[in-house]
Amino acid sequence: MDLEQKAIERIRLASDLSLKHYNKPLVCEYSGGKDSDVLLELFRMSGIPFEVHNSHTTVDAPQTVRHIKNTFSELTDKGIKCEIDYHVQENGNRLTMWNLIPRKLMPPTRIVRYCCSELKEGGNPNRMIATGVRWSESSKRSNRSPFEVLGQTASKSIGVSDEKMLITDNDCTRRLFENCQMKAKTVVNPIIDWTDQNIWQFIGEKDIQVCELYQCGYNRLGFLGCPLASKKQREKEMYDFPKYKQAYIRAFDRMIEERRRRGKDTKWSCGEEVYLWWMQDNNVVGQMELSDFIEY
C-alpha cells in the first residue's frame, strides 16, 4: 500500500471510530503549514464527513493567519464546518502569548513548553482528531504512533500501530484503544511516515496552494520565536517580523514586573536582557539558569 492510500485508510478508519464512539465527525487540526494543507487534501480525497479546527496562537506570522482564514473561507463556502479557537476565557478575555508570559513568570523554553499546551493543544476535548505529525520532523516525534490515546503526559499516552488498527480487527490493543475513546482525546496521524520529499511531491502533484512564506526562505511555519526551532531560524523570524520581537520584549518587561510584585528574585533589569538570554546570546549581562525561574 503506497503512502497516499495508507494515509486515506487511516483517515477512513478514524472517521468510523469517531462516528461510532463520539457520534461526531473526525476533526482535521489545521495550522496553516504545508503538512496541514496535505492533510486537508487527503481528507477531501477520503470522502468522509469532517470538521476543521485551528488554534489561534497569537504568534503565527500574518501571512500564515491570512492563509488559514482564506482556506477556512473556501471550506465554509463548501459546507464544511471550520472553527478558529481564540482561547476566550471565562472572564471574556483572550489568552495570548503576551499575557501568558507574565502569568507563567518565565519565557517559554525547550524544557517548559507551556505555549503549546496552552495555545495549541487544548482544543477539542473528548473528540477524535487528526494531526500532521510526522516521524521525520524530530527525534521526539519518531516515537509517536499512527493512532494514539492521549494521556496527561507522553508516558501515559497509548500508541497503536497500523498492524493493530488496520489489519488485526480483533486485537486486544485495538479494543483497548476503542474503550479508551470515551474517556480521552484520541488521535490519528495519517502522514506520520511521510518525508519532506513526500510532502512536497504530493503538493506539486495535487497543485495545493500553500502559505506564501514557503517562497520566502521558510521551511517550517509555526510560533515565531519557537524555542524548538534553530537559533538561525529564530533570528530570521525576529528580523523579518520586528513587531513580534518588540511584543516579546514588552511581555518580558511585564514578566519581570510581575515577578517583583510577587516577591520573586530576578537578576534582570529589563525585557531586552531576557530576550537576549532567550535567544541564546552568550554575552548577556545577568545570565540566568532555567532553575532560577522554576519553583521546587
Strands 82-85 and 50-55 come out as parallel
Task: Look up residue 54 and give its DSSP letter.
Answer: E
**Smallest Cα–Cα separation from 193: which of 162, 157, 152?**
162
Strand order in the sheet with 186-188: 82-85, 50-55, 26-29, 128-130, 186-188, 147-149, 158-160
**DSSP-H helix ranges across 31-95:** 34-46, 62-77
SS3 188: strand
The pLDDT assigned to 296 comes to 35
**Bridge partner residues of 160 (DSSP):** 147
C-alpha span between 277 and 107 (Å, rounded):
10
Which residue has cell 500501530? 161
The pLDDT assigned to 288 comes to 54
Grid coordinates standing for 27?
476533526
C-alpha span between 17 and 19 (Å, rounded):
6
Grid coordinates standing for 167?
489489519
- Torsion angle of C-alpha atoms 265, 271, 273, 275, degrees rounded to 10: 120
C-alpha span between 244 and 58 (Å, rounded):
10
Q: Which stretches of the chain score pLDDT less than 70?
A: 1, 122-123, 138-142, 150-184, 281-296
Model pLDDT for residues 94-127, shown as the tens digit of each residue = 999 999 999 999 999 988 888 888 888 766 777 8
Domains and CATH numbers, the chain: 3-87+120-209 (3.40.50.620), 231-288 (no CATH)
- pTM value is 0.87
